[in-house]
Structure 1
Amino acid sequence: MGPVHTDFDTKVLHARRLLREGRDIPPSLVADEVQRSWSRSLGHGLRESDQILFNPVSAAQLRRLDETHRVLLTHVEPEMQRLFTALGNARWMLACLEARGTVIKTLGGQDQELRDIATVLHPGRNLSENVAGTSAPGCALEERRPVIVRGSEHFLEEIHMCACAAVPIFNPSGDLAGVLNASRHHHAPSIGILEPLALTARAIENRMVDALPDALHLRLHYSAELVGTPMCGLLAISRDGRLLGANPLARQLLELDLLPGIEQCAQTVFQCGLGPLLDMLRKHGRTPSPLHCHNGVRLHVCLAGDAPPRTFTTPSPRPAAAGMAAGAAPAARASTPSMLADPKLSLRIHQAERAFARGIPVLIGGETGTGKEVLAHHLHDGGPRASGPFVAINCSAIPSGLIESELFGYDDGAFTGARRGGMAGRFEQANGGTLFLDEIGDMPLELQARLLRVLQERTLTRLGSTRSIALDCSVICATHRDLARRVASGEFREDLYYRVNGLRVTLPALRERSDLDALIDHLLAREAAPATLTLSPAARDCLRRHDWPGNIRELQQVLRLGAALAEAGCIDLVHLPSELTGTCAIPQAAALHEPARHADGSSTLQQTEADAVLAAFLHHNGNVSATARALGIARATLYRKLRSYGLFTGPTDA
């Protein structure tokens, strides 16, 4: 007697036939996200009949996994246990996977009925789409949203018995931390686990935000009634007003991803300084206060936990590594110490530190992505006003009609639409600290005269006001333009140029740096933390050969990608972007197996084989499964051959 198929199974089996025939699949048969996942699985070179999920996982691998992801597990384990207890005898098995798709924690599976599912979800098993094809956790990692995959919707036939639901988990910086999955046998098309699974994922995310050290925590929501519940947005702010982290709801309500990295501070988000914000929230205690945010949304906000002491409003020196890292500039700030590995640059930075400490303005030049804001933060942190705020303004990003009010502020009624009570400008906000004018070469000419007057007189007047406000702040400017040439062409005032150009520091392009290897190692350690990652010789050589038009920002993105794709703790050529490896892979590979030729220049059998393997590997853009299929060999065999050519150092069963 054959298997009994439900209407759901019949539809999915019909969709799979259409998939094999290369025909369009009507959306009424399977969900769009499942169709997209099927297409990606085919692109990874997988076949439905592949048997890959029951390979053993060593005890050493499990120990490394636990050590690497111990911080994440401290937040995950208590919430998983709470959900597992609530599910009782519903015969669900829970699993948490890290961001690359490896199972790091499971609960359940002791029942005989769940033994086969427990084998699939065994810790150490990789369920990412490129390894296991379509599954709920693999698809959720790719789609970055909750996903349900049932029965034959799974790409591999060996897991058709499962019904799974998965929800992504995001860390306080908004990056993917992992996925929470629930699985049971595919008995019926209905799955009621998604809602409790999503609530558990939110609880894990809130734990991660709550755990950020030395932070002020705010709760917020559209509805005042929901501010004190686990459904609220959660925001962590540093002692000097920077955003350290947020849960996904807070990021969505505040539209944090639309803000440039240098703008991620309480002042910009809530349109009032940290001091007035805290004073208001402390006054109302646990009662939510309505606040208008930068995106025009009105939210209810209150302090989480006990109100902080008043000293919280007095900024302190910023910690070495900020938590938010939204955008390349803040993320690169941690690389400041490695700037000093270049002898010439070290000398110029030392000179800038001494000049800045004595009140001399510093002008930082260099190409985009060379770390101008990183240096500005470094000077502020070691300068005479380190305890004050660091206020950054991108002069090229503010609309010309708003830049005057942004810089100098305005009084109540200064213009139509002005906020009641007026608003302090960026100069005023920087009082007692440092004002960083980025891309000053793009400031409109008509505003340069007023900026010069403020810098000379050290006073400012808000729009619509006659009252002078004393100004006491350090000034750092930066630009990627040649200001001397713009002075000659009349696009930049000569008197302002000499006012801001007390000491000029030009940051070299990355291709000109003598400390590239040290910088690579520093950024790689930061991306891999708390784990450890290495670069294969071929990958490192590829990074050395690249011209780096995007400078440090581009290098950081390349290493971030490599860290996300790396296997067995090592980044190989296959884990780097194709625009880099396209110029590196062939010469590097050729150099690695060139010695196998005869003295007369003819090829050995080994050389001929290597040429064929490498050609197929490059033709399939580094896709191991597709390359193995094209060559008619097992993936494990291909892995061993690639390792011998220096193009892969991971395990053969990856």
Structure 2
Amino acid sequence: MRGPFHSAFVGGVGVRRGGDEPVRPIASGLKLGPDHVDTIDQSHERCAALGVSRIERPDHNPLGRSDLAVVRDRNLRLHDHAAPVMEMLYEQIVNTESMVVLCDATGTIIHSIGDDDFLARASKVALQPGVNWSESTKGTNAIGTALIEEVPTLVHADEHYMHANHFLTCSAAPILDPRGNILGVLDVTGDHRSFHQHTMALVKMSARMIENHWLTDDYRNVMRLHFHSRVEFIGTLMEGILAVAADGKLVGANRGALEQLGLSGAALRMHSLTTLFGTTVGALVDRFRSPLATPMPVQLNGGRQFHIHARFNWPVWASLSEAVSGSTAQEPSVGTVHSPAAEATSRPEAPARGGAAPAGGLAQLRTGDAQVASVIDKIRRVLDRDIPMLILGETGTGKELLARAIHVDSARAKQPFVAVNCASIPETLIEAELFGYEDGAFTGARRKGAVGKIVQANGGTLFLDEIGDMPVALQAHLLRVLQERQVTPLGSSKSVAVDVSIICATHRNLREMIDQKLFREDLFYRLNGLAVRLPPLRERSDLLALVRRILDQLAEPAGRGRHLQPNAEVLQLFQHYHWPGNVRQLFNVLRTAAVMAASEPVITREHLSDDFLDEALAAQAAPGVAAAAAAPVVLPPQAAAVAAMPPADLAPVAPAEPTAPRWSGETASAPKSLEEMEIDAIRRAVDEAGGNISVASKRLGISRNTIYRKLRWNLPR
């Protein structure tokens, strides 16, 4: 292999060759296992069921130039990541009667490069940009079959369903985003007589390279954890990469990470950094802030060992960590322990009662909503009275933020704050996590044992998130610990005295669980000293103040000289949306929009992710919403006062009144229906594009056909 492509593959693939050393084709024909035969047979059955003809003449009517331009624009990011990798891949197969093909998630070819003579032959079967190669249009082929099977796929010679394609041999691999969604397919197609055994390996590694570039681009502002069981493989294509949010949650992974850990994407996202690797965000930040830091050995609960290296943009990471948790990046978050030393360096001294509230305290959670203000007032009355607190509320409403604020304002502020998510720890391990264990207490236990979370929180605050997911058998043990104030680690006969303040949280109805014998009634009354409910985002009146606060915080680490502002249309979408993910979802939506907006000062619907935009538009179009959408955008005085406050801890929030706020510079317009507003927006976009429908469709994020249909149906009469 040559150049950078060779260096990228060293240590990652068992296929090597010298700079110009030829690779011999397989002389004895293709021999593959039963799984491959089953895949081809199943594909042929699908094609027959779809009515695809084996002798149908190839479709020589690709997309028109303008339509292809729209498809390419829609997949511009995929093309930009894939194009340089395709060039390096082509260097390895040049002069072998082959071509490299990139398709989008529908199977439409958006880019190809290859030997001129073979490109001419391929065009005779419509293997060219603008043509769709899904199974439904081209029968069994590597591109279309890989899209359905979602795994790398080889289709050789007469394995192609259509006779016209029998002269081809194709090796294709799907390209996945960090959440496991298919972005497109990378394919190498050549003459079946020049099949090379190493081609599939090259294609799979090239797809992995594109995926890694995509992950790095998606998560450039979060911590990325590079790991492998062999330290020398860190930095190669064989390494696993995990994206770790400021709260320790695992939010993305490359294919190498899933393969090494033996987990699906969904199973991985149920873990946190602590439950998976037994370390914390704070520990990694402390270790890897130095550019000279070496990989750190870690051990999974099953005993498997890995070496990890964390990479992050320190100024951006610190700012985003503070935006999410109200604490600096030196402070570990979910499932971690905060040491007094770290607290002392990252937060000012806790003031005496009546003094100014420290950063991250209860005062910072006031964003103009009466319900939240009532919750804070209740908590202040029992603060430092040794009364356990139970925080109720839906997922994402900010229960942990409230617990941290309580700790910061308490007399225990200089002592550890330990957060444990009972739902994210496997049932078989939660007892060991909470109470600790001695050496050899169970299979897979670490040597010298481990200190449990309750002991780690001694003197400080223990936050048990999702307490309703704690196994019933463990509830009795926890009750005994709380009553006796002593912990006995697994495998030990000695008890350890502990003094902790307990805060619990759950989104479940514990009283119903008690009736169903899923939660102990005695533990419920032991934990339920003061129960407070955080309202969901849709029930609150300070959504707009929170939007302003989040955007201000996102603007600072990005180095923006001016604040981001959503336009009136986006604000109306926000207000009428039901926010099932509450504040956590709002933050993620705004963070994505801020990145998409780049240097633009105003967030428009173009900057919103497609799935959120579809849901928001559907919610806005619901009965009873149209009249509210036409109302002028006015910021409530109380929310406006909060919005003017300096950025601080993010608080749980909810939607405002059925009127949408108006940002400075905008004026109220005459009431219009949603349909009229939509038509006006389309006409305005077409005018601004000089009548170019393709450009207007790109800016609006809708198809050209939709524009034609809307304007045709709404012509003046």
Residue pairs, 1:478-497, within 5 angstroms: 478-480=507-509, 482-483=511-512, 485-486=514-515, 491-493=520-522, 496=525
Give distance in 2, aligned partners of 1:378 and 1:489. Answer: 23
State the Cα distance separating 1:151 from its structure 2 match.
Answer: 2.5
Give distance in 2, aligned partners of 1:142 and 1:404. Answer: 42
**What SS class does the counterpart of residue 61 from structure 1 fall into?**
helix
Query: Is 1:298 matched up with 2:305?
Result: yes
Seen in structure 2, the aligned counterparts of structure 1 residues 220 and 499 have a Cα distance that, compared at 3 Å, is same
Query: Is 1:143 matched up with 2:162?
Result: no
Conserved 8 A contact 1:408-1:462: yes
Question: Counterpart of 2:245?
Answer: 238
Residue pairs, 1:134-283, within 5 angstroms: 134-188=140-194, 190=196, 192-211=198-217, 212-257=219-264, 260=267, 263-279=270-286
Residue pairs, 1:72-91, within 5 angstroms: 72-91=78-97
Conserved 8 A contact 2:390-2:527: no
In structure 1, the gaps of 5 or more residues are 1-5, 12-25, 321-345, 366-371, 510-514, 545-642, 647-654
**What SS class does the counterpart of residue 62 from structure 1 fall into?**
helix
Conserved 8 A contact 1:137-1:181: yes
**What SS class does the counterpart of residue 322 from structure 2 fall into?**
coil
State the Cα distance separating 1:57 from its structure 2 match.
Answer: 0.4
Seen in structure 2, the aligned counterparts of structure 1 residues 301 and 261 have a Cα distance that, compared at 3 Å, is closer
Pick the aligned partner of 2:436 from 409, 416, 421.
409
Residue pairs, 1:305-454, within 5 angstroms: 316-318=322-324, 361-364=389-392, 372-376=394-398, 391-394=420-423, 398-399=427-428, 402-410=429-437, 418-427=445-454, 434-440=463-469, 442-444=471-473, 445-450=475-480, 452-453=482-483
State the Cα distance separating 1:480 from its structure 2 match.
Answer: 4.7
Amino acid of the residue matched to residue 419 of structure 1?
R
State the Cα distance separating 1:284 from its structure 2 match.
Answer: 10
Question: Counterpart of 2:569?
Answer: none
Once the two structures are superposed, what CA deviation does each residue of 1:392-437 show, in whole Å capped at 9, x if it has no partner? 21299514xx543222323557678642343243456787785312
Question: Counterpart of 1:599?
Answer: none
Give distance in 2, aligned partners of 1:268 and 1:395. Answer: 8
Pick the aligned partner of 1:33 from 39, 49, 58.
39
Seen in structure 2, the aligned counterparts of structure 1 residues 285 and 296 have a Cα distance that, compared at 3 Å, is farther
Once the two structures are superposed, what CA deviation does each residue of 1:53-112 show, in whole Å capped at 9, x if it has no partner? 433302332232233222222321221122223433233221222233232322236447
Question: Counterpart of 1:103?
Answer: 109
Amino acid of the residue matched to residue 78 of structure 1?
P
Residue pairs, 1:470-481, within 5 angstroms: 471=500, 474-480=503-509
Conserved 8 A contact 2:225-2:241: yes
Conserved 8 A contact 2:230-2:306: yes
Give distance in 2, aligned partners of 1:353 and 1:46. Answer: 65
Percent of aligned pairs sharing the same letter: 24
Conserved 8 A contact 1:163-1:184: yes
Conserved 8 A contact 2:422-2:466: yes
Give distance in 1, aligned partners of 2:529 and 2:477. Answer: 15
Once the two structures are superposed, what CA deviation does each residue of 1:312-339 show, in whole Å capped at 9, x if it has no partner? 699534399xxxxxxxxxxxxxxxxxxx
State the Cα distance separating 1:502 from its structure 2 match.
Answer: 0.6
**What SS class does the counterpart of residue 110 from structure 2 fall into?**
strand
Seen in structure 2, the aligned counterparts of structure 1 residues 361 and 45 have a Cα distance that, compared at 3 Å, is farther
Question: Counterpart of 1:503?
Answer: 532
Amino acid of the residue matched to residue 234 of structure 1?
I
TM-score by length of 2: 0.55
State the Cα distance separating 1:135 from its structure 2 match.
Answer: 0.8
Question: Counterpart of 2:133?
Answer: 127
State the Cα distance separating 1:292 from its structure 2 match.
Answer: 1.0
Give distance in 1, aligned partners of 2:612 and 2:245. Answer: 29
Give distance in 2, aligned partners of 1:446 and 1:533. Answer: 42
Conserved 8 A contact 1:165-1:182: yes
Conserved 8 A contact 2:301-2:445: no
**What SS class does the counterpart of residue 74 from structure 1 fall into?**
helix
Amino acid of the residue matched to residue 251 of structure 2?
L
Give distance in 1, aligned partners of 2:518 and 2:301. Answer: 37
**What SS class does the counterpart of residue 450 from structure 2 fall into?**
coil
Conserved 8 A contact 2:101-2:109: yes
Conserved 8 A contact 2:389-2:504: yes
Give distance in 2, aligned partners of 1:30 and 1:205. Answer: 24
Seen in structure 2, the aligned counterparts of structure 1 residues 96 and 39 have a Cα distance that, compared at 3 Å, is same
State the Cα distance separating 1:51 from its structure 2 match.
Answer: 4.6
Conserved 8 A contact 2:504-2:527: no
Conserved 8 A contact 1:452-1:496: no
**What SS class does the counterpart of residue 243 from structure 2 fall into?**
strand
Seen in structure 2, the aligned counterparts of structure 1 residues 520 and 66 have a Cα distance that, compared at 3 Å, is farther
Amino acid of the residue matched to residue 165 of structure 1?
S
Amino acid of the residue matched to residue 233 of structure 1?
G
Seen in structure 2, the aligned counterparts of structure 1 residues 268 and 403 have a Cα distance that, compared at 3 Å, is closer
In structure 2, the gaps of 5 or more residues are 1-26, 327-368, 539-573, 593-606, 624-705, 710-717
Conserved 8 A contact 1:103-1:122: yes
Once the two structures are superposed, what CA deviation does each residue of 1:233-287 show, in whole Å capped at 9, x if it has no partner? 2223233322232221112212342874664221111112233345556789464
State the Cα distance separating 1:488 from its structure 2 match.
Answer: 9.7
Question: Counterpart of 1:43?
Answer: 49
**What SS class does the counterpart of residue 482 from structure 1 fall into?**
helix
TM-score by length of 1: 0.60
Q: What is the aligned-residue RMSD (CA, Å)?
A: 5.2
Seen in structure 2, the aligned counterparts of structure 1 residues 426 and 95 have a Cα distance that, compared at 3 Å, is farther
Once the two structures are superposed, what CA deviation does each residue of 1:546-572 show, in whole Å capped at 9, x if it has no partner? xxxxxxxxxxxxxxxxxxxxxxxxxxx
